Structure 1
Amino acid sequence: MSYLDKLLEGVEVEWKTLGEVTNVLRGRRLTREQLSSDKKFPVFHGGLEPLGYYEQKNRPANSVMIINVGASAGTVGYSDVDFWSSDGCYSIEHSEKLNNKFLYYFLIGEQHFLQSRVRKAGIPTLDAPVIEKIPIPIPCPENPKKSLEIQQKIVRILDTFSELTAELTAELTARKKQYEYYREQLLSFEEGEVEWKTLGEVAFIGTGSHDTQDAIPDGDYIFYARGITPLRLDTYDFDETSIITAGDGVGVGKVFHWAVGKYALHQRAYRIVPNVKEISPRYVYHYIVANFYSYIEKTSVSSSVTSMRKPMFLKFPIPVPLLEEQTRIVSILDKFDTLTTSISEGLPKEIALRKQQYEYYRDLLLTFPKE
């Protein structure tokens, strides 16, 4: 018998609405003038990031929070420090029957339900009675001490997965900063150190012919449109190695795809195809990712870059070191790129797996019979 089976073996469960075992407390509003970055207690209102800090607290540490107004209404949070709850943040009063972290993990599983009950007219708002009516499982209700012990054991298991995911996320953030540092160092050249060319001198630049509505969910070929996530299509336009970016839309000048093989292309997306032997296509990719947005910010007549035209690509300056130096640079940056962005290997894959593992055990541990 597994540890989980032993933990939950023969456990009777009583279901109570949250309002039957505790209270949903609404906070009190503070003005922005009352907040400061150098005061002690975080203030929560309309989101899980502190709005600011205040000299007093009105809620104790280890409390469950539920945001009740704004775009984040219905989001469940947990504070391990004393804090100030504003009127845009409900908190759940501590109960002798519930371990607060156990309640937090359970309510995370109800978050989609809470968000679906947010009133959308005007300012999005979640009403307290919606929360109060949520059924909460209480294991071993006839033995409060054992009930809390079981809840604590469940919390301990889920905390382990949460902490591992947090550690991996922190590691990913550190590696991204390291990647950006090395990329800047490797792709910076002193004046006269290397030959400079324009992108138009070393690459072909063109667009596609399709529109977004041409996409087919299960198409045979990848279809690069204007969004961050590629689509699918049943036909392809090109069979090559190229760098793809949108000419307008979300992430213009910031999102680049590395395309290898057959693909289709949107009429407002650009393909950059390096076509001279003295330059590595992958080197061009890394240099564009690192420098293109700052270039178009400087050359754009508008205060915000909303679209790009072919001349902007053609005139983009790019340094051309010796091919063996390009190969060295690519080798280093590819390792960082894989570590920080790949969903099939590297830290993003590890984080995704740990999140799946956490969600699996959360559902397993918090799914109790309902008669």
Structure 2
Amino acid sequence: MGELGQFIRGRRFTKADYADEGVPCIHYGEIYTHYGTAADEVISYLRPEIGAGLRYAEPGDVVLVDVGETVEDVAKAVAWLGVEPVAIHDHSYAFRHDLNPSYVSYVMQTDWFTRQKVKYVARTKVNTLLLEGFSKIAIPVPDRGEQDRIVAILDKFDALVNDLSAGLPAEIAARRRQYEFYRDRLLTFPEKAAA
């Protein structure tokens, strides 16, 4: 990975730095709790006056966490697809590269990748990424067209599984309506004429 791009460590910000609007940011904790494979909007902002002292992920970077409660949590990643840079916390890295960012994020979710990264996680009180070794992980790099094709397939599958307005939840709701329709049709009897 180190030959494919560079890792840029974020800078620390605290709860006192948050604001209702201002500098868009991604806190490393939000990567565990809010973001999926990719994101194009943030949920948090920092006070504008601290903006110059921060480090940013650019559109197309992959933001990854360098700490975690479990080894699997370390290096959890989100592809930043927004249109402007976002500030990142110092427990995060922006991986800047020329690949499809969602492709990189998907690769980093695989069991194969997890087996590679466990070699580069310091198991202390808080599991921490050892970037020097981590950057030596070799990931498959098909041509950009193939990366885009893989992402399109995985995005569709993700939507089928997770999107509340489409996919499995919508299919379940449709089957429930179908069941209710047929139940009502089967259990509707003609009324007997009064004798």
Normalising to structure 2: TM-score of the pair?
0.61
1:211 to 4, 13, 25: 13
Residue 341 to residue 257, structure 1, CA distance change in 2 (3 Å): farther
Name the % identity: 24
Pairwise CA distance, 1:322: 2.6
In the alignment, which of 308, 311, 317 is matched to residue 132 of structure 2?
A: 311
> Is 1:294–2:96 an aligned residue pair?
no
**Contact 1:253/1:293, CA 8 A, preserved across alignment:** no
Q: Paired residue for 1:331, among 141, 144, 152?
A: 152
Name the SS for the 1:289 alignment partner: coil
Q: CA deviation at 1:239?
A: 3.7
SS in structure 2 of the partner of residue 222 of structure 1: strand
Q: Which residue of the other structure, out of 284, 287, 301, is the alignment partner of 2:104?
A: 284
- Classify 1:310/1:259 alpha carbon distance in 2 versus 1 (closer, same or farther; 3 Å): same
String of CA shifts for 1:159-215, please: whole Å, max 9, x gaps: xxxxxxxxxxxxxxxxxxxxxxxxxxxxxxxxxxxxxxxx11112211111323354
Matched to 1:267, the amino acid is D
Secondary structure of the structure 2 residue equivalent to 1:271: strand
Q: Is the 8 A contact 1:253 1:292 kept in 2?
A: no
- Counterpart secondary structure, 1:201: coil
Instruction: Give how far 1:258 is off.
Output: 2.1
Task: Specify the code of the residue in structure 2 equivalent to 1:233.
Answer: L
Question: Distance between the aligned counterparts of 1:287 and 1:326, measured in 2?
Answer: 10
SS at match of 2:127: coil
2:59 corresponds to: 240
The structure having more radius of gyration, on CA atoms, is 1
Q: Distance in 1 between matches of 2:108 and 2:78?
A: 11
Matched residue, 1:225: 27
Task: For structure 1, list consecutive stretches of 5 or more residues without a partner in the other structure.
Answer: 1-198, 351-371
Paired AA for residue 331 in structure 1:
A
Q: Measured at CA, do residues 222 and 284 of structure 1 come closer, stay the same or move farther in structure 2, by a change above 3 Å? A: same
The letter of the residue matching 1:243 is V
**SS state of the match for residue 327, structure 1?**
helix
Change in CA separation of 1:204 and 1:342 when aligned onto 2, cut-off 3 Å: farther
Count of matched residue positions in the alignment of Structure 1 and Structure 2: 150
Q: Flag structure 2 segments of 5+ consecutive residues without an equivalent.
A: 35-42, 171-195
Aligned to 2:95: 272
Q: Which has the higher contact order (CA 8 A, sep 6+)?
A: 2
Query: Once superposed, what is the RMSD of the aligned Cα atoms?
Result: 3.3
Q: TM-score, normalised by structure 1?
A: 0.35
Letter of the aligned partner of 2:8 in structure 1?
A: G
- The alpha-carbon distance between structure 1 residues 216 and 341, as it changes in their structure 2 partners (threshold 3 A), is farther
Checking the alignment, whether the CA contact within 8 Å between 1:297 and 1:304 is kept in structure 2 is no
Structure 1 residue 259 corresponds to structure 2 residue 92: no
Q: 1:245 to 1:238 in 2, by over 3 A?
A: closer
